[in-house]
Chain A
Amino acid sequence: MVVRTKGARCRNRAIFIRKFPKNKKENMAASTTSSFPTSQEGVATSSQQNLDAITDDDFEYVDEEFVLSHSAEQQAQPEPMIPDLFKQPSLVKDDLITATSQLQDQTVEHCLPFLTGEDGPLDLNDYGLPKLNRDKHIKFLKQSLGPLPGRFVAVDASRPWYLYWCLSGLTMMGEDVSSYRDSVIETARTMQNESGGFGGGHGQTSHLATTYAVILAIALVGGEEAYDVIDKKAMWKWLCSLKQPDGGFQVCVGGEEDIRGAYIAAVIITLLDLPLDLTPESPAYDGRSNLLTGLAEYVRSCQTFEGGISSQPNNEAHGAYAFCALACLAILDNPRRIIPSYLDVPRLVSWLSYRQYAPEGGFSGRTNKLVDGCYSHWAGGCFPLIEASLSPSGPGSEKHKTATGLAAAPESLYSREGLIRYILCCCQDQTKRGGLRDKPYKMSDPYHTNYVLSGLSSAQHQWDLDSDPLPLPNGDTTPSLAAVGADSVWNVFPYIDENDQIYEDSDRVRPIHPAYAIPQKNVNAIRAYFQGRSGFASTLGEE
């Protein structure tokens, strides 16, 4: 392997210019080419100056335009250390061409130049990776929280998501978001309905997805004043009205029942410490059931023959729902016990592992679909939970139904390097716009920015479940869900690769809780606040 000094930079590359001035196009290409071999530093600055000299108004928006310039000294420069796995199309390939294979080939074709450093930014480290463009991504997210132009009407029902995606992304990148507290409070108030829950905006019906986003945004900014916005009692009544006899939850009154509902309900119930009793008005009320009855069984019914999880029973396995299923179970009980009790773990691990593609390195959402940055979280984020469920119990712990015959997960069940390469090379929008994206040639957006960063965070950290399942009350054989999530203690460490770390230390983002998808301290703070307020539970009897 070629050993390279830290300061060495690969120059055998293309200069990446996305936004390109209409009239200056030719001049510029010429100037960069001619000045290129003389001085490496000089090139960087001169092209930089060129770019700076051009005002925004001069630009014709040319997405992904590259000007190639080759150095005469290219042979002298050492190659960056990129394993062949990420530089070449996969070894085994079929001849038959169908719509699916065409799209797949095209995606590989688009990604390879970014992965090999042929396209993309100038600054690459010894491993061929660009830096995380933190400043630009922060600016992008902050802008997305600001006033949005009229064409954003299409996301009018998803505004709470914007709060969560942006605040969560900023938090992971190390920004202090508590300054947004007042505006989150004000914004959340207009979204809350008297009948419980939060909708997408003023006058919109309460929905579990938007409620999840608002509660997480509130937890992210923190503070009692923010927590107090939530009308806990109304929330509890509303959740009861969504609970279905088969154990699942509708996403809104009259809406669809799916596994998102199951996960979000588990998040809300535990973060707000809601009572589990059902109101007599609840569709699931039968005098015996509570809010969590049959929830894990519902999750189980969503596992498909492929091993993955679908949105509802009898649908296709899909990455986003795999995360919902695992996170829901991990909230309900200790993952070591509950995940093998309700899911076919070997099949699930197999399906999850197959979500990662080479050479792209990223994850896809379904069999034979394309990689997409957001699955860095939805599929990639499943691994800490799966690894926890496979981790051996501490000595002397109660013998429970862990996956029999299944070994503990190795250091890393998936290729962290592959995912990190995909994220840093392919998912960063290197233009002035910033933000992270699905794949090359797609626009960045807050959704992808947040979930790509979540995936990066999970790839950079190691989560250990530092608690064994508590003994089940009354000698039950299956979890009774009596002590919801109470016994799971998670510890997080930076993941240290036994080989070299391929990214810079400064590109580490902060860890987030593997099930709640916000930092652990925010989870603890909001839970502590609501657990400390038992006043509401005692008034229940009066209902």
Chain B
Amino acid sequence: MPSKGKAATKPKATETPATTTSNPTTTNTTSQTASQPSEPTTVLERSQQRFEKTRPFEAARRQQGLSRLSKEDQKGWICDQLLHLTNRLPAASRSCLLGPKASKEIWWTVNGTNSIVRGLKHKPEPYTTWGTDRNGHDVGSYTIERFDERFRQRIALTALQVSSRVFRENVEREKRGFVDARSGREIIVTEREIDEEKVRRSKMAALKKDLYGAITGKLAESVEWEDVVPIPHEEPEGALAAITYPAEYAEAMSYLRAVMTTKEYSPRCLRLTEHIIAMNPAHYTVWLYRAANIFALGISIPDEIEWLNEVALANLKNYQIWHHRHLLVEHYYPTISSDPDALAQFAKQERDFLIAILSEDTKNYHVWSYRSWLVGKLGMWEDEEELKSIEKMIDEDVRNNSAWSHRFVLVFSNPKYATPGKAATEKDEKVPQELVDREVKYAQNKVYLAPQNQSPWNYMRGVLVKGGQPLASVQGFVEEFVNKLGEGEEEEEVKSTHALDLLAEIYAEKKENEKADLCLRRLAEKWDKIRGGYWEWRRKCLTQSEREKAPGEQVEKAEEGIAAA
């Protein structure tokens, strides 16, 4: 606030001009005494009083009009105007406006009227001088106390922001295992610090909400964006779920709309997308526009991927990131597809990153989707490392169904063993027996670790169907988990309801419907009651299939019956 500082010092430096008291007294004493000594109530008033103090002639003219002023005051006013006019000009061109003689005369008059040479240039106006607050009110209309309070709030906010930044940097350091150079200890963010940050954040949010709503943005002030006319957010008054956009976001979006309309692709647009993504990573439009910029500008894809890695780690749940990566790889692939080494190198790099991100969020659907797509794109079907890394994940958490699903795709969607157009739950003749055996064995070993874990059961069943094996081929294994079924509440032992479920299917497959029915009944009655309706339906299916199995027989029997009658 430069004008404030100036105004504060000036009136002290010079005596109150005689003119303000002498001249206007002739016209209205009352207004003089009323306006002059009264304490300013608002910030704007204070600024205006300061202005009037430093520009007595201008103030008098505004109050009374030029023609009502005395000759002396008129002369003083003219000198004052000229003085400020020349002051605004560069020193070299000042002489162009007034000749040396005229200048001399002005200075003489100025000295005579005791006018202030460096008075305030502009009369403070509502809104423009002090700006508006978040509600669009003129900050100038604030009382001095309220304004001081606002000023204190801004200082407080800045202090909080600095502390918050220190905190966030520490979190980042902790994540990366930084060691404090001075103490030699690892940086650890304590619970207390986290709590403090929470308090800080809420304070900051409250302050920001209080203070801002219409701050001028960085882009509007930047030289780089001077040529762009932003398209502001357009929305009617009563729009639903309207968001009170933070100024920075609203401004950035206005510029985005502008450059997207003109289809500009440039480094500054790339920076703009990064700016918006940092504020709202779920903004699909910005991501697509970013991809378009990268391809148009021929930006190096590995560089972009490196940038993306950081964004991905900071936004684990975001999925626009993964489609963006998909687009990048689609674009990059043709440039390396003919070079097996480059391809292998890239595949390794991608896998390393995927392993890192999946260790943070082991079942992230979008990451796994991307991974499964990548296997196909880069032809990683036979890649031993891929299978190993999945096995490692299953070893870490044998219940991670995402890892199991990926394994199934890796093994059975391999074009070598997969007939195009075959459904996942359909038998495929191309699948070799040893592969089925290997996978069934793998699943069975994992079942032993935790028999009630459904993932390996589903996997094993899926493998058997794919390989065209009867379910009964694993009957012995399944029966290990069920003992003395139907032999009394105390005797009966079920280590896995999934085993009982599969056993029912095995019996049905072998047409041992009574045994199958017993399994289903025990599931419904005791072991898995929540699925009572489902088990009941399965039992109905058993009888239905029995009826459908031999419709001819039934007809014959009926005819026999008629004949007998």
Q: Which of A's residues lie within 8 Å of B, judged by CB? A: 85, 91-96, 98-101, 144-159, 162-163, 166, 180, 182-184, 186-187, 189-190, 199-205, 207, 252-256, 300-301, 303-307, 310-312, 314-318, 344, 346-347, 349-350, 353-354, 356-358, 361, 366-369, 390, 404-415, 418
Contact = CB atoms under 8 A, between A and B. Distances in A.
B399 A204 contact: no
Interface of B: 205, 209, 231, 233-236, 238-246, 249, 253, 256-257, 260, 279-280, 282-285, 288, 291-292, 323, 326-327, 362-363, 365, 368-369, 372-373, 376, 396-402, 405-406, 408-409, 412-413, 423-426, 449-455, 458-459, 462-463, 465-466, 494-497, 501, 526-527, 529-534, 536-537, 540-541, 543-545, 548
B529 to A, nearest CB: 5
A85 B534 contact: no
Contacts of A361: 530
Contacts of B450: 94-96, 98, 101
- What are the 7 closest A-B residue pairs judged by CB atoms, nearest first? A305-B462, A407-B540, A100-B399, A358-B530, A94-B450, A203-B257, A162-B241
Given A353-B534, A412-B533, A405 B541 contact: yes
A255 B536 contact: no
Contact of B397 (A100, A203, A406): A100
A282 B44 CA distance: 62
A202 B233 contact: yes
Chain B at the A interface: SS class: helix
B236 A314 contact: no
Given A356-B530, A410-B536, A148 B244 contact: yes
Contacts of A312: 369, 373
Contact of A205 (B236, B288, B399): B288
Contacts of A166: 240-241
B458 A305 contact: yes
A368 B453 contact: yes
Given A92-B497, A252-B288, A306-B405, A183 B240 contact: yes
Given A163-B240, A305-B466, A369 B363 contact: yes
B516 to A, nearest CB: 13
Nearest to A152: B243
A411 B533 contact: yes
B405 A317 contact: yes
A368 B238 contact: no
Given A184-B240, A314-B376, A414 B231 contact: no
Given A204-B285, A316-B402, A183 B541 contact: no
A491 to B, nearest CB: 21
Contacts of B406: 316
Nearest to B400: A100
A378 to B, nearest CB: 13
Given A153-B249, A304-B425, A312-B373, 11 more contacts: A96-B450, A150-B243, A150-B249, A152-B243, A156-B249, A158-B282, A314-B409, A356-B530, A367-B401, A414-B533, A415-B532
Contacts of B401: 316, 366-369
Best-buried of A100, A147, A303 by chain B (most CB within 10 Å): A100
Contacts of A163: 240-241
Contacts of A318: 365
B495 A306 contact: no
Given A150-B243, A203-B260, A368-B399, A300 B233 contact: no
B280 A156 contact: yes
Contact of B243 (A100, A153, A253, A406): A153
B527 A344 contact: no
Contact of A406 (B279, B412, B451, B541): B541
Contact of B465 (A204, A305, A368, A408): A305
Contact of B362 (A99, A157, A344, A411): A99
A153 B246 contact: yes
Contacts of A346: 541
A256 B537 contact: no
Contacts, number: 261
Nearest to B326: A256
A101 B458 contact: no
Contacts of B544: 405-407
Contacts of A151: 205
B409 A157 contact: no
B245 A153 contact: yes
B234 A190 contact: yes
A152 B283 CA distance: 12
B369 A368 contact: no
Contacts of A96: 398, 449-450, 453
Contacts of A199: 285
Given A94-B452, A315-B369, A407 B541 contact: yes
A314 B406 CA distance: 8
A157 B284 contact: yes
A367 B363 CA distance: 11
Contacts of A162: 240-241
Contacts of B373: 312, 314
A235 to B, nearest CB: 18
Contacts of A85: 529-530
Given A99-B397, A407-B544, A414-B533, A305 B408 contact: yes
A143 to B, nearest CB: 10
Contact of A311 (B245, B369, B408, B413): B369
Contacts of A184: 240
22 contacts: A92-B495, A94-B450, A95-B450, A98-B397, A101-B450, A162-B241, A186-B236, A200-B285, A203-B253, A203-B256, A256-B323, A304-B405, A311-B365, A312-B373, A344-B425, A357-B530, A358-B530, A366-B402, A368-B401, A390-B537, A407-B543, A418-B530
A354 to B, nearest CB: 7
Nearest to A149: B244
A307 B529 CA distance: 21
Contact of A354 (B205, B253, B326, B454): B454
Nearest to B284: A157
Contacts of B458: 305-306, 367
B209 A149 contact: yes
B455 A92 contact: no
A254 B284 CA distance: 11
A412 B530 CA distance: 12
Contacts of B372: 314-315
B509 to A, nearest CB: 12
Contact of A300 (B285, B423, B529, B531): B423
Contacts of A200: 283-285
A315 B368 contact: yes
Contacts of A413: 533-534, 537
A318 to B, nearest CB: 6
A186 B238 CA distance: 8
Nearest to B465: A305
Best-buried of B376, B398, B530, B543 by chain A (most CB within 10 Å): B530
A187 B239 contact: yes
Given A203-B257, A415-B531, A183 B238 contact: yes
Contacts of B231: 203
Given A154-B280, A252-B288, A367 B454 contact: yes
Nearest to B497: A92
B257 A202 contact: yes
A271 B333 CA distance: 40
B452 A148 contact: no
Nearest to A344: B425
Given A157-B284, A203-B253, A180 B240 contact: yes
A187 B240 contact: yes
Contact of B531 (A155, A156, A205, A353): A353
A151 B246 CA distance: 8
A533 B376 CA distance: 46
A204 B320 CA distance: 14
A505 B240 CA distance: 32
Given A156-B283, A200-B285, A255-B323, A407 B537 contact: yes
A207 B74 CA distance: 68
Contacts of A415: 530-533
